[in-house]
Structure 1
Amino acid sequence: MYVLTIDQRRSRQREDLVESTMAALNKDRRWPLRLAFDRTAGDEMQAVTDSAATAAGIALELAAGGQWSIGVGVGPVREPLPSNTRAGAGEAFERAREAVTAAKTAPGNIAVSGASALAGQAEAVLQLVASVARKRSGLSVEAGLLVDEGLTQQQVAERLGISQQAVSGRLHSGLWHECRRAAEAAVALLEGADA
């Protein structure tokens, strides 16, 4: 099981983003959650999933914006699960707490904690992908998000009014395809860490 503990960075210096982000994540059908995101402290939220792809996807999506510290705890949780995340307990919850603390100073502001060495390997890959994502230009992000939606490079070019070669250049400069493959590797490592 995977527990995500997510803390808003510099929350005293900016508006509270927890409520709006929780609402968006809880409604997003891409991310199946066993327990929905719930506010656990003033600027912190937490959720539980049994999907490594969901844990990695949410972590990377939030890390790209640079406004969150994301901790992923890997391990068992006390079953049956309670009706809300705040009442959850177990190793994955404890590890998520350790991870979010480590994430505050970690590359990409992502940390993973689990009993297996694979958790550390997943963390390294996620940190690398998050660090690359933060350095992408807005043009690269624009093209990459459209490709992630399933559009071909030619369709992206038509939508943006640019050449297919320009789309290819934007994806190349943002290491879009490489990061997608690295994220898939991180998912496999997280699955192994929870095996």
Structure 2
Amino acid sequence: MFVITADQIDSRNDRDRAGDMIDALREQFGDTFALPADQTSGDEIQVIITDAQATLDAIMLLHRSGHWSVGLGIGTVRTPLPASTRQAAGAAFIAARHAVTRAKKADTHVAIDTPPTEDLPAEAPPGESCSLTVEHVDALLAMLLLLRQRRSAEGWEAVDLLDSGLNQVDIAATLGISTAAVSQRIKVAQYHLEQAAHPAIVRLLEHLDRATSEMDTPA
């Protein structure tokens, strides 16, 4: 199970953004939540998600806003689930708490953690050894988020329209620029590199989820 704990950055000098972010998360990913997203204490949000792709997308939404330190905990959640997220407990929640603490000092303000364990074995071809740790996945996610973090406003403008389903000709007409300029914006934004990385990170998150679900870690 995936638990996201997001703590608002510099909340003492900013308005409470939790309600708006919960609404955005619910609108885009609500059907993947094990329980509704919750404002658990002050300016903090917690979400329990069952799907790795939605988890990555939710992290990217929180990260792009620039207002949240985000901790992703991967592990077991105590069942049966209670009526609300704030009442839930389990190893994934403890891991998310550790992760959000580390996230506050990270360049991306995002971190991943799992319950303490030995290195988690990844699938490998016969005759080859391969091990996967949460640190590996954390580093790959950080690289993806740093790429997005350095994207210009013009780059976001182009890739957002591309994500909406428009082709480059239509994007050019919408923005009042040439198709060559659109192509250059998308290239500089490294959009296709980002998109190519998504499936690999999702698969690694799925692997960590499977591995931690098999652990008998006290919550």
- TM over 0.5, yes or no? yes
Pairing partner for 1:172 from 170, 187, 198: 187
TM-score by length of 2: 0.84
Matched residue, 2:154:
139
TM-score by length of 1: 0.93
Structure 1 pair 66/152, CA: closer, same or farther in 2 (3 Å)?
A: same
Matched residue, 2:88:
88
Deviation sequence 1:39-75 (CA, Å, 0-9, x none) = 1111101010111111111111211232110111001
Return 148-157 or 8-17, whichever deviates more. Answer: 148-157
Give me the whole-angstrom Cα distance separating, in 2, the residues matched to 1:31 and 1:22: 13
Give me the whole-angstrom Cα distance separating, in 2, the residues matched to 1:30 and 1:143: 27
Give the letter aligned to residue 177 of structure 2. I
Q: How does 1:27-38 map to 2 (within 5 A)?
A: 27-29=27-29, 32-38=32-38
Tell me, yes or no, if the aligned pair for 1:156 and 1:167 is still in contact at 8 Å: yes
Matched residue, 2:3:
3
Matched residue, 1:151:
166
Q: How does 1:1-195 map to 2 (within 5 A)?
A: 1-29=1-29, 32-115=32-115, 116=120, 117-195=132-210
Give me the whole-angstrom Cα distance separating, in 2, the residues matched to 1:184 and 1:147: 18
Give the letter aligned to residue 186 of structure 1. I
Give me the whole-angstrom Cα distance separating, in 2, the residues matched to 1:64 and 1:125: 17
Give me the whole-angstrom Cα distance separating, in 2, the residues matched to 1:99 and 1:73: 7
Tell me, yes or no, if the aligned pair for 1:118 and 1:189 is still in contact at 8 Å: no
Q: How many residues align?
A: 195
Give the letter aligned to residue 103 of structure 1. A
Q: Percent identity?
A: 37
Return 112-121 or 161-170, whichever deviates more. Answer: 112-121
Deviation sequence 1:82-134 (CA, Å, 0-9, x none) = 11101111111110111111110112111011254443222112211212212
Tell me, yes or no, if the aligned pair for 2:172 and 2:179 is still in contact at 8 Å: yes
Tell me, yes or no, if the aligned pair for 1:66 and 1:134 is still in contact at 8 Å: no
Q: Give the RMSD, CA atoms, in angstroms.
A: 1.5
Shift of 1:31: 6.2
Q: Secondary structure at the match of 2:139?
A: helix
> Can you give the 5+ residue segments of structure 1 that lack an aligned partner in the other structure?
none
